Amino acid sequence: MYGPDFAADPHAVYARLRTLGPAAPVELAPGAHATLVTDYRAALEVLRTPEIFGKDARRWRALADGRVAPDNPVVPMMAYRPNCLFSDGEAHTRLRQAVTDSLARIDPNALRGYVERSADTLIDRFAGLGEADLLGAYAKVLPLLVFQQLFGCPPELGDRLVEGFSGIFDGVDAERADALITSSLVELIALKREQPGADMTSWLMAHHARLSDEELIHQHVVLIGAGTEPQQNLIANALRLLLSDDRFAGDLAGGSMPVEDALDEVLWLDPPMANYGVHYPVQDVDFGGVPLAAGEPVVVSFAAANTDPALLTTRRTGNRAHLAWSAGPHHCPAKDAARLIAAVAVEKLLDRLPDLELSVPADRLVWRPGPFHRALTALPVRFPPAPPAGPRPAPVHDLSAVRRPGPGPVPPYEQPRAQSAPSPQQADLPGDSRWNASPARTAGPAPSRFSPPPSGSTPPAATSTGRPPGSGPAARRRPWSFLAEWWRGQ
């Protein structure tokens, strides 16, 4: 599952594997073996029965006994981390609650506005050229801008984090990439301890779950990892579909933009995380006639399950029963935000450049090798040159203070680690509070049997300090190196 042949036509591989039953043995990387679930109902059974299939990767026997080397390229994506993705039971409930409470503070209207302004900024850079690589110049950079804003991350650190996450998804020098991610997150957390703000990092730090520094690092790994690489693939794959499939291209030519339909199609057929959801049987189990040994990885193929011929319907438009966001207690907590970002990104691009067309035939587009993702190497397009969007409000960068909605004391479970209530002056700091959801939204989603009801919002930041100056220019200008200049308004 790691070579170019699999990347070029994974569905042919899934079809062969289905002949072996609901699950079949695969090699994710040289020396790293697993069982891949290709059946829709079998996938749901794995995802929804944590008492049989656990997520705690410390059960991975082959890694523990040395059959899989620590520097194997899939280890950074599969090995245990103390975060909500790799935890079970009470540990999972505690860690996930910090994530869901913090995500509930994001105002969708503010997020939409930020994505629109960021998209315009990026489109202005290539609109007059008449051609572009929509992956490198747009789909890859837009999620980077969003996560930098959401996590209060300076562009220099964001550059390094994206490099690291690209490395572990591709399995290219994954051990070095993992170390780069860790060192960058250590810097980010240290920065936010000194300069807390209205951002996910600060909210996670202030949450009543009282996450340790190690837990903070690895909560960020799953959140930023899920918010960059898969997000760029969702945007790029949707654009590819819209520009190459006659069902959608015809509507575009007629002035319609069926973006939501295209997203549904991509999430069913080419989900950005095609194979993941790694679980470990807690004991030996017979799985529909397939013997599974305790502690050996079981990987869910979301792409294969979604295209299971046994499904009773092939209607995908408006159908959200796909498994692209996983299912069960570990389903993606940010799926609504992820879909909003992708939809706005695609809508804005097609609105600005309605005559987009691929520069090469769709069957000549190249897919990146890797067992987990469904990702293009490039998405070249051409279009009639267009003028810049014109004057518009500058993107808001200073989200470092939160105005608390309404009077009243701060509940004890919302106190920061210092355990001292903020002064009236601190609670009323100036700054942009639009990133925070309105009181009606801070309650979060309805409670489920997997987690207690979300807590209230975390406390306001105690300081509002200026952003530190960026580092000097790098020797090599990466595609997203303009972000530091854009962040500072240059």
* pLDDT tens figures, 290-307: 999 999 999 999 999 999
Q: Do residues 410 and 85 make contact, with C-beta atoms less than 8 angstroms apart?
A: no
Over residues 380-387, mean pLDDT: 95
- pLDDT-derived band at 330 (thresholds 50, 70, 90) equals very high
- pLDDT on residue 391: 64
What is the C-alpha separation between 432 and 345, in angstroms, rounded? 23
- pLDDT on residue 444: 38
| DSSP type of residue 154 | -
Give the contacts of 188 (CB within 8 A, at least 6 positions apart).
Answer: 151, 152, 153, 157, 201, 220
- pLDDT on residue 468: 36
pLDDT in tens, 420-456: 333 322 232 222 344 455 443 333 333 332 233 333 3
Rounded to 5°, the CA angle 63-67-72 comes to 65
DSSP 336-396: HHHHHHHHHHHHHHHHH-TT-EESS-GGG--BPP-SSB--BS--EEE--------S-PPPP
The more confidently predicted of residues 163 and 95 is 95
- pLDDT on residue 484: 37
- The label of the residue with tokens 């049987």 reads 281
pLDDT in tens, 240-250: 999 998 777 65
Q: Do residues 326 and 277 make contact, with C-beta atoms less than 8 angstroms apart?
A: yes
- pLDDT on residue 90: 96
User: Strands of 357-358's sheet, edge to edge?
Assistant: 131-133, 380-382, 357-358
Closest by CA to 277, choosing from 73, 42, 453, is 42
Average pLDDT, the chain: 80
Give the contacts of 322 (CB within 8 A, at least 6 positions apart).
Answer: 264, 267, 268, 271, 302, 306, 316
pLDDT in tens, 220-240: 988 988 888 899 999 999 999
Q: Counting every residue, how long is the chain?
A: 490
What is the C-alpha separation between 138 and 437, in angstroms, rounded? 27
Q: Which pairing describes strands 131-133 and 53-54: parallel, antiparallel, or unpaired?
A: unpaired
- pLDDT on residue 250: 58
